[in-house]
Every structure is written in structure tokens, then in C-alpha cells.
């Protein structure tokens, strides 16, 4: 007779084998071309599934002048001691993948698969400004995944970014400026190493408000909204699992669950046994991301100090890091130097969208399959 442990280890394979099979056209319907259609699909799917809905309006207009919202869909939260939270759009333009996974799960009846005592909460487009305007950053140029720090204390210095800023924040996008940046970044990579370069640029900085990966000087609007959601709906839970969906790091279409939970701990073991997706940790050096300052996972965990929290970034790879960085660099320049009036604005915005949201069907299929599977494996383990 199988032991309980053996049965537990069998869950990921069993769920994978039983996962629904889709025609390509059906799966593609879960994805959207822009924020407005993504929001409409999410709200329609959530309402049809019988969700309790809440909406938080962002004070800034969208790219088409539309109102912007972070929307929350909730199921079975009354008295639930365990809650699964699925998040999209922390990094704006990365919201296309997360939104599609949320919409698909809602349409396929995920709310009907909840075990007894388990609640489900989806928040859609935490950074609606970035989603609508095709920016990774928010209305204040803040990277939300660097904003969850104690803003009453001195910010950590990032001298590496200070040294690289002249390459990352160019005066123009001229051929000469671009050549200097390519040569300069290549030199740093050669002399200092690729990991140093990635960490210096992306771990977070608080001294260049018009730069990239800027953590801000106060709690961003989205940070405050997330605190309200947690306080209103998760404070009484004893166990909370957060899956925050991201794109842009790693091999094309590959997924990994990035956590700050240390290996050899019960929570880490639970993730490894429950999911077929690799579980990685930046601090042990096996993640596609370097350690960052002020990540949402850490802030979310701190908000629930009386609960057992498992928080991961579910990261889907797109293109090589240099291509993604180049798209971020160009879009950030356009945002601060001309905006929509910049002659290359449309092309550069579309390049950024493609860097974080590849248009190929095989990428979409991989994202949907792996994202929905991880959620179903989670619920299977919670049974």
C-alpha cells in the first residue's frame, strides 16, 4: 500500500495527465491585445463564474484615455483558512500572460475545483497604468517589484547602477549613443561578468528617478491597493499561497517559480513536491533573476505576519536578456523624452510589448499550459 508521502509525490504527474486539452483557437481566446480587452475578458469570466468583485480605480488615465482599475475576483473566502492568490500585471506590460491564465482558469471552472476550506482570490492588473501604456513601470516610473521597502529608512545604495547609468539612460537614441552603449555594456560584461552586470542594472535603485528599476521614494498606489486587498480579505487566513505572474526572464517559453523561501525548509519542500515547475531562489544562485531589493513577495509576506505564506514569482522566459534590456532602455527614453509625440514611439512601444509578450502561438500555449497546470497542482495538493 502506498504511503501518504508517495501519494503526495504522485499528485503533480496525476494532475498533468488529467489536465484539459484545448484547440489552439480556444486557448488563444484567453489572451488579449491590450489592457481594455484583457480587463473586459477578466470581468466577464469572473462574473460568469460567480465571483465577488471589487474594483480599485487608478487616478491616472490609460493610453486611450480610459479609466484604469485593479480588479479583484474572490471565491469561497468566508471562513477559508487557506487562500490561493493569483496575481497579474505587477510589471504592467507583463500582464498579458497573467491575465490570460486568470481568464482561462475562470472560464474553465477553476472556482468549482476548490477543496473544502480553500479560498481563491485573483487580482488583475496590479499596475494598470503600465499595462495600458505598455510600460514595465508605473505612473511614477516606479518598478513595483522594488517598491516594497521601508520608505522611512535610508534607501540602499546601488553604486553599480550609478556607474552604468550613462549607458542605460542615454541623452538620445542616436546611432552614436546606441553604439557607445553596446560597446560599454559589452566591456562591463567582459571585465566584470554577466551576473554582475545583470545584478547592477536590475536589482533596484533609488537615486535615478528617470532610470529603470527605480524603487520610488514612497509607497506606490499599487502598493497601497495591495495592502488594502490583503487587510480586507486575507488577514484571517492561516495559510496563503501567492503566485505572481511575470514574463521576460529565462529561456523562451520556459517557466520557473522564483521564491525567497530557503531550501530544506518545509514550505520549500512542499513546493518542490507539489509542482512540476522548477522552484528556484535568487539567493542560492539558481534563479534567472538576481536578488532584488523590495520585491512584492517579501512585502506580501510581511503583510501576513500571522500566517504561513508561500510567495513565488512565476516567471516565463521570452527573449535573450540583451534584447529585453534594449527594449526597456529605448521605451524608458521615449517615455521621458517626448512620449507619444516621439517619432519612434509606436515602434518602440511595440518592441517592448513583444519583448515581454511574444506573439507566437507556441509561446502562448506554453504559458497557458504551465501556468494553469501549476494552479491545478496547487489545489490538488491542498486537498
pLDDT in tens, 123-151: 999 999 999 999 999 999 999 999 999 99
Q: What is the mean pLDDT of residues 96-102?
A: 98
Residue 340 sits at the vertex; the CA angle it makes with 337 and 343, to the nearest 5 degrees, is 75
pLDDT in the model for residue 17: 46
Residue 43 has pLDDT above 80, yes or no: yes
> What is the distance in angstroms between the CA of the first residue and the CA of the last residue of the chain?
20
**Nearby residues of 367 by Cβ (< 8 Å), 6 or more positions away:** 97, 100, 101, 247, 253, 255, 316
Give which of 148, 138, 143, 285 is closest to 201, Cα–Cα: 143
Distance CA 221, CA 163 (A): 30
Spatial separation of the C-alpha atoms in residues 291 and 282, rounded to whole Å: 5
Domain map of the chain by residue range?
A: 4-154+213-318+357-382, 160-198
pLDDT digits (tens, 9 = 90+) for 154-210: 999 999 999 999 999 999 999 999 999 999 999 999 999 999 999 999 999 999 999
Note whether 131 and 88 are within 8 A (CB).
no
Residue 15's pLDDT is 53
**How confident is the model at residue 23, as a pLDDT?**
47
Assigned fold of 4-154+213-318+357-382: Aminopeptidase (3.40.630)
Q: With 70 as the cut, is the pLDDT of residue 3 above it?
A: no
State the DSSP code for 146: G
DSSP state of 283: G
Give residue-wise pLDDT tens across range 296-347.
Answer: 999 999 999 999 999 999 999 999 999 999 999 999 999 999 988 999 999 9
H/E run at residue 87: strand 82-87
Q: Give this prediction's pTM.
A: 0.94
Q: Identify the CA nearest to 296 among candidates 306, 309, 285.
A: 309
Predicted confidence at residue 27, as pLDDT, reads: 82
pLDDT, tens digit, for every residue of 53-84?
Answer: 999 999 999 999 999 999 999 999 998 999 99
Q: Is the pLDDT of residue 7 over 50?
A: no
Among residues 10, 102, 85, 103, the alpha carbon closest in space to that of 300 is found at 85
Residue 18 confidence (pLDDT) above 70? no
pLDDT of residue 275: 98
Burial environment of residue 264 by CB neighbours within 10 A (0 to 12, 13 to 18, 19 or more): exposed
- Give the SS3 label for residue 316: strand
Per-residue confidence (pLDDT) for residue 383, from 0 to 100: 87
Asked if residue 272 lies in contact with residue 279, where contact means CB atoms within 8 angstroms, the answer is yes
Q: Tens of pLDDT along 345-382?
A: 999 999 999 999 999 999 999 999 999 999 999 999 99
| Banded pLDDT at 24 (limits 50, 70, 90) | low
Amino acid at each position: 500500500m502506498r504511503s501518504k508521502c508517495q501519494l503526495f509525490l504522485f499528485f503533480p504527474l496525476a494532475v498533468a495527465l488529467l489536465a484539459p486539452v484545448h484547440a489552439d483557437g480556444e486557448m488563444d481566446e484567453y489572451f488579449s491585445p491590450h489592457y481594455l480587452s484583457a480587463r473586459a475578458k477578466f470581468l466577464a469570466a469572473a462574473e460568469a463564474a460567480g465571483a465577488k468583485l471589487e474594483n480599485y480605480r487608478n487616478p491616472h488615465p490609460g493610453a486611450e484615455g480610459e479609466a484604469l482599475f485593479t480588479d479583484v475576483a474572490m471565491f469561497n473566502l468566508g471562513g477559508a483558512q487557506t487562500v490561493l492568490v493569483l496575481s497579474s500585471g505587477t510589471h504592467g506590460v507583463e500582464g498579458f500572460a497573467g491575465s490570460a491564465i486568470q481568464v482561462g482558469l475562470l472560464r474553465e471552472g477553476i472556482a468549482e475545483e476548490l477543496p473544502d476550506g480553500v479560498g481563491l482570490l485573483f487580482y488583475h492588473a496590479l499596475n494598470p497604468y503600465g499595462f495600458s501604456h505598455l510600460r514595465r513601470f508605473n505612473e511614477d516610473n516606479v518598478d513595483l517589484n522594488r517598491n516594497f521597502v521601508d520608505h522611512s529608512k535610508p534607501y540602499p545604495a546601488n553604486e553599480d547602477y550609478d556607474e552604468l547609468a550613462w549607458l542605460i539612460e542615454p541623452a538620445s537614441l542616436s546611432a552614436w549613443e546606441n553604439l557607445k552603449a553596446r560597446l560599454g555594456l559589452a566591456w562591463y560584461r567582459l571585465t566584470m561578468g554577466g551576473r554582475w552586470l545583470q545584478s547592477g542594472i536590475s536589482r533596484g535603485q533609488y537615486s535615478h528617478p528617470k532610470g529603470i528599476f527605480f524603487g520610488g521614494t514612497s509607497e506606490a498606489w499599487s502598493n497601497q491597493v495591495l495592502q488594502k486587498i490583503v487587510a480586507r480579505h486575507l488577514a484571517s487566513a492561516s495559510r496563503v499561497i501567492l503566485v505572481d505572474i511575470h514574463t521576460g526572464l529565462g529561456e523562451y517559453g520556459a517557466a520557473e517559480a522564483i521564491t525567497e523561501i530557503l531550501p530544506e525548509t518545509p514550505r520549500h519542500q512542499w513546493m518542490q513536491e507539489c509542482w512540476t515547475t522548477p522552484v528556484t531562489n535568487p539567493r542560492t544562485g539558481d534563479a534567472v533573476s538576481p536578488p532584488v531589493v523590495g520585491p512584492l513577495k517579501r512585502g506580501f509576506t510581511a503583510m501576513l505576519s500571522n500566517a504561513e505564506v508561500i510567495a513565488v514569482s512565476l516567471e516565463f522566459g521570452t527573449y535573450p536578456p540583451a534584447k529585453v534590456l534594449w527594449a526597456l532602455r529605448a521605451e524608458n527614453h521615449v517615455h521621458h523624452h517626448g512620449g507619444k509625440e516621439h517619432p519612434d514611439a509606436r515602434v518602440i512601444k511595440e518592441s517592448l510589448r513583444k519583448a515581454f509578450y511574444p506573439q507566437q502561438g507556441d509561446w502562448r500555449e506554453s504559458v497557458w499550459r504551465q501556468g494553469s497546470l501549476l494552479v491545478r497542482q496547487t489545489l490538488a495538493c491542498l486537498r
